[in-house]
Chains A and B, each alone.
Chain A
Amino acid sequence: SQQGEEDPQALSIQEGENATMNCSYKTSINNLQWYRQNSGRGLVHLILIRSNEREKHSGRLRVTLDTSKKSSSLLITASRAADTASYFCATVPTAGGTSYGKLTFGQGTILTVHP
C-alpha cells in the first residue's frame, strides 16, 4: 500500500488565498519531499524536509513535519492561478531498513486556483 496518503484529494480556492495540503505516512523516514506536476508532465521538486527538521520555508512555500504523528503539511501562501497543479508528497525511508531504496509517493492533491 502507499506510504504517503494525501488530504484533501482536491482543493479549489481563489487567487490570493492560502492552500494547505496534508500528507500522512506509516514508517520511519529519512526525509519527506514535495513535488508538483502540471497536467501529466514530469514532476518538479519543490522542497525537502529531513526527519530532524520541523519546519522549512522556500518562497511562498512552508512545509512542516511532525514525526510523532507521521504527518506533513504543505502551505502555499497567496496562491496564484499558475499554482494550479497536482501536488505529491514522497517519503524516503531510513537507511538500513528492508525498504531502503524505495521512494514512495502519495496519490496527490489536485489544486485549482481560480483567477
Chain B
Amino acid sequence: EAQVTQNPRYLITVTGKKLTVTCSQNMNHEYMSWYRQDPGLGLRQIYYSMNVEVTDKGDVPEGYKVSRKEKRNFPLILESPSPNQTSLYFCASSSILADEQFFGPGTRLTVL
C-alpha cells in the first residue's frame, strides 16, 4: 500500500531533550516536506527536500533540522525542544513539487 508513515504518533517530552520524528514513504517520491499545524495558523512548512541530499528551509525552520540521506526517509530533528514547538506535525511527499502531496497521519508533540 502506498503510504507515508510517521513515528512516533504521539510524544510527550521535556524541554531540551533531543528528539527525532521519522518519516518514510514507499512511493519513490522525490519531494518531501515537513509541516506543523497550530490552531488558527493552518499548516506552515518547516523544511522541504527536492531530492536526496537537497534540503531547504520553509517558513518556520528555527529550532528544527532535517536530513535526506535516502530517498524514502526524511527525519525531523529537534535538537533542544522548547514548549513553543508543541504542535501537530505532518510529513508529506510527492513525485515532484508540482503534484499532489501525500500526507502522513501526523505526530502530536507536547514539550513540557
Q: Which residues of A contact B (CB under 8 A)?
A: 2, 30-31, 33, 35, 40-45, 48, 88, 90, 92, 95, 100-108
B74 at interface, CB cutoff 8 A = no
Q: Which residues of B contact A (CB under 8 A)?
A: 4, 33, 35, 40-45, 48, 50, 56, 58-59, 88, 90, 92, 97-106, 108
Contact A102 B45 (CB under 8 A): yes
In the complex with contacts A102-B48, A103-B33, A106-B42, A45-B59 CB distance below 8 A: no
In the complex with contacts A101-B48, A105-B35, A44-B97 CB distance below 8 A: no
Complex Cα distance A48/B97, Å?
A: 12
A107 contacts across to B, CB distance below 8 A: 40-42
Q: Jot down 20 A-B pairs with beta carbons below 8 A, ordered by A.
A: A30-B97, A33-B100, A33-B101, A35-B103, A40-B106, A40-B108, A41-B106, A42-B105, A43-B101, A88-B43, A90-B101, A92-B97, A92-B98, A101-B48, A103-B97, A103-B101, A104-B45, A105-B42, A107-B41, A108-B42
